[in-house]
């Protein structure tokens, strides 16, 4: 399941991408525009900054901005950074693999087979989706 942390992180990144011409944008303005708790968003933005996705500028005209090029920010990286493993269970994870305690034979486990298929389909989508592609593919919300 997608966490709110991941959902809000993606929304904030898309907002920064779509409004890049404004220069740095404050966490408050992003939170207000995207209907996100300011305090929660600030912790997400700091994590993205710590991991080299964003940078920030202090002062009256300060705020956050993309440090990486939008076509280099892949959704697999954002998902793993904010949500953790992509697989639903450790037995299907590429990076956080662990065998299940209750599984005597993983090779014939129908649940593991299903989880691997779900993981692979999810990865196929996330690996091919950059921030730029995601933002450019989806319509912008229009206010009347």
| Per-residue pLDDT tens digits for 21-77 | 999 999 999 999 999 999 999 999 999 999 999 999 998 889 999 999 999 999 999
What CA–CA distance (Å, rounded) separates 60 from 62?
6
Element (H, E) at 56: strand 54-57
Which residues, at least 6 apart from 117, have a Cβ–Cβ distance to it below 8 Å? none
Query: CA angle, corner 102, sides to 96 and 108, nearest 5?
Result: 80
Q: What is the mean pLDDT of residues 136-141?
A: 81
Q: Same domain, yes or no, for 91 and 116?
A: yes
Q: Helix or strand or coil: residue 72?
A: helix
Q: Same domain, yes or no, for 77 and 126?
A: yes
pLDDT confidence of residue 143: 47
The parent domain of residue 37 ranges over 4-70
Of 17, 46, 70, which marks where a domain is finished?
A: 70
Of 38, 53, 70, which marks where a domain is finished?
A: 70
pLDDT confidence of residue 107: 83
Cβ-contact 5, 42 below 8 angstroms: no
pLDDT band at residue 133 under the 50/70/90 scheme: very high
pTM of the model: 0.87
Q: What is the mean pLDDT of residues 126-136?
A: 95
Token duo for residue 17: 């991408």
Q: Same domain, yes or no, for 11 and 61?
A: yes
What is the end-to-end Cα distance of the chain in Å, rounded?
A: 33
Q: What is the mean pLDDT of the chain?
A: 91
Q: Same domain, yes or no, for 57 and 84?
A: no
Closest among 78, 93, 84, 85 to 126, alpha carbons compared: 78
91 pLDDT higher than 90: no
In sequence order, which ranges of the chain are alpha helices (DSSP H)? 4-18, 27-34, 38-50, 75-83, 110-127, 131-137
pLDDT confidence of residue 141: 62
């Amino acid at each position: 399941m997608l966490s709110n942390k991941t959902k809000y992180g993606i929304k904030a990144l898309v907002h920064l991408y779509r409004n890049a011409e404004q220069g740095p944008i404050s966490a408050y303005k992003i939170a207000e525009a995207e209907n996100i708790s300011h305090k929660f968003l600030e912790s997400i933005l700091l994590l993205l900054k710590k991991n080299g996705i964003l940078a920030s500028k202090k002062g009256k005209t300060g705020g956050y901005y993309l440090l990486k090029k939008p076509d280099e920010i892949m959704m697999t990286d954002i998902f793993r950074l904010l949500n953790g493993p992509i697989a639903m269970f450790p037995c299907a994870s590429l990076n956080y693999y662990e065998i299940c305690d209750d599984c005597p034979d993983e090779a014939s486990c129908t649940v593991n087979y299903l989880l691997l298929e779900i993981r692979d389909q999810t990865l196929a989508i996330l690996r091919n989706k950059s921030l730029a592609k995601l933002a450019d593919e989806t319509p912008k919300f229009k206010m009347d």
